[in-house]
């Protein structure tokens, strides 16, 4: 999860299921079989590889057959499933020991193992609260480690885990806490990056001066040896190689883009997506030409997702199409891209919402002003909350930190509610 490797994550869940399957088979334990089934289900839900998914499904079916046979024989094993509702107090008790060890700054590896065990327990028992809290706690370990060492890789792992916990979370207050963690992590990363950028500037200048002094005699001697001809013939070589590489990159870009357009016209959307994505990856030039090519690739890729959304009636495809076209519009203020975004909106309303929509009235400026007013209000409120209720200004051991965190949660929850009401009123007015 921390390294955002979905394949490995699924493989680990499957392997844990295999372990429990073998224990259940040897000990004829119904509880172990149930744990194996729960882990296989969790692996299938997270799996996006067809072959891997089929393998897990076969294991699930095999476990079910063994469990049915064991149930018909009558098993002496005890079920280990825990269906009790987890309260906040009970959850705090489960994490108390590990949290103390983490705060003491001991061996973080053993703490990570403890949190991972609680996460697996949450997955097995379908306890999203326990699973989310365990993932968040693992993220906290990486956040603390990254803050102390200045290693941005640990901060990346922390952000990935907070995002994963956010996807599993179904509680408003915990969602707000996770958002705080993400913002705090981003702020620390920015501070570390700014510090690292400033530090080497002076060192690089000194190195450049040393290199000039070091290579000056060598350049002089080589000119004497070759009568000055060596320098004349050696300088253009990299330029020629650079021009050749640039031409190759341009040809590769054009080939992929044309292949994607042809596939889009024939209706082969998978090939079109792969080809246009390859064209986007092949863009290596710098400056305005780069933005132009990126804009064209993003625009074409948005067209692929628009056609896919029309076929699948899936709102997610329309969202991707609009996001890609907006990214293209940022890079190139082309009229056809802006028009395509409006067409995506109209297609979404027609295909997904099943509403016949007339041509859009010219309310663009009005909508922009309404959105700007809402954004200004949110920005003002966030600054106020940041100044008045800031738990990060307190020490980790301060007894008031919980009270301040809860007050911050309530403030942001109220802000979310206000923003939702404003959006609802806006939509009602449009209707």
**pLDDT tens column, 345-393:** 888 888 888 877 655 545 666 777 888 888 888 888 888 888 888 877 7
Using the predicted structure, report yes or no on whether residue 18 has a pLDDT greater than 80. Answer: yes
Token pair 């290579």: residue: 215
Who has greater pLDDT, 306 or 42? 306
Global model pTM greater than 0.85: no
Averaged pLDDT, 320-347 = 87
Averaged pLDDT, 93-118 = 79
Tell me the pLDDT of the chain averaged across its residues. Answer: 76
| Band of pLDDT at residue 299, cut at 50, 70 and 90 | very high
Indicate the range of 31-35, 93-97, 215-219, 410-414 predicted with least confidence. 215-219
Measured N-to-C along each axis, helices 152-168 and 172-226 cross at an angle, to the nearest 10 degrees, of 150
Using the predicted structure, report yes or no on whether residue 40 has a pLDDT greater than 50. Answer: yes
* 8 Å CB contact between 256 and 296: no
Averaged pLDDT, 391-409 = 80
* 8 Å CB contact between 3 and 160: yes
pLDDT of residue 404: 84
Using the predicted structure, report yes or no on whether residue 226 has a pLDDT greater than 80. Answer: no
pLDDT of residue 246: 56
Averaged pLDDT, 285-298 = 78
**Integer Cα distance of 105 and 396 in angstroms:** 13
Averaged pLDDT, 134-145 = 87
Question: What is the DSSP secondary-structure string of 329-340?
Answer: HHH---HHHHHH
Whole-number Cα distances in Å, 111 to 78, 106, 107, 162? 29, 8, 7, 17
Using the predicted structure, report yes or no on whether residue 224 has a pLDDT greater than 50. Answer: no
Indicate the range of 47-51, 180-184, 258-262, 403-407 predicted with least confidence. 47-51
Spatial neighbors of 381 by CB under 8 A, at least 6 apart, are 415
Who has greater pLDDT, 78 or 352? 352
């Amino acid at each position: 999860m921390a390294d955002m490797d979905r394949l490995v994550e699924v493989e680990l869940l499957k392997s844990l299921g295999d372990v429990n399957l073998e224990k259940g088979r040897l000990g004829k334990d119904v509880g172990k079989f149930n744990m194996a089934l729960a882990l296989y289900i969790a692996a299938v839900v997270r799996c996006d590889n067809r072959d891997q998914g089929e393998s897990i499904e076969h294991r699930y079916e095999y476990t079910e057959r063994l469990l049915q046979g064991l149930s018909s024989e009558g098993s002496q094993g005890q079920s280990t499933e825990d269906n009790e509702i987890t309260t906040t107090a009970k959850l705090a008790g489960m994490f108390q020991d590990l949290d103390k060890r983490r705060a003491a700054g001991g061996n973080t590896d053993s703490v990570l193992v403890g949190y991972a065990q609680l996460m697996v327990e949450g997955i097995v028992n379908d306890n999203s609260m326990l699973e989310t809290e365990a993932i968040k706690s693992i993220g906290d370990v990486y956040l603390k480690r990254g803050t102390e060492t200045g290693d941005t890789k640990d901060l990346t792992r922390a952000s990935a885990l907070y995002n994963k916990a956010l996807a599993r979370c179904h509680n408003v207050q915990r969602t707000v806490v996770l958002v705080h963690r993400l913002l705090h992590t981003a702020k620390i990363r920015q501070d570390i990056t700014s510090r690292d950028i400033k530090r080497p500037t002076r060192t690089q200048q000194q190195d450049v001066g040393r290199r000039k002094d070091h290579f000056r005699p060598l350049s002089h001697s080589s000119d004497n040896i070759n009568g000055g001809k060596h320098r004349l013939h050696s300088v253009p070589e990299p330029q020629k190689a650079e021009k050749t590489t640039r031409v190759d990159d341009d040809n590769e870009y054009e080939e992929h883009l044309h292949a994607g357009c042809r596939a889009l016209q024939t209706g082969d959307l998978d090939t079109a997506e792969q080809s246009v994505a390859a064209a986007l990856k092949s863009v290596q030039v710098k400056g305005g030409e780069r933005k132009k090519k990126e804009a064209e690739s993003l625009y074409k890729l948005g067209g692929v997702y628009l056609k896919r959304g029309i076929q699948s009636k899936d709102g997610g495809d329309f969202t991707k199409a609009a996001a890609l076209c907006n990214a293209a519009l940022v890079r190139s203020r082309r009229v056809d891209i802006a028009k395509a975004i409006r067409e995506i909106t109209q297609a979404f309303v027609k295909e997904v919402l099943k509403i016949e929509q007339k041509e859009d009235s010219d309310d663009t400026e009005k909508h922009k002003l309404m959105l700007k007013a809402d954004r200004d209000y949110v920005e003002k409120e966030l600054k106020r909350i940041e100044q008045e209720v800031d738990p990060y200004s307190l020490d980790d051991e301060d007894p008031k930190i919980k009270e301040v965190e809860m007050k911050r949660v309530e403030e942001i929850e109220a802000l979310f509610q206000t923003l939702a009401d404003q959006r609802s009123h806006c939509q009602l007015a449009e209707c």
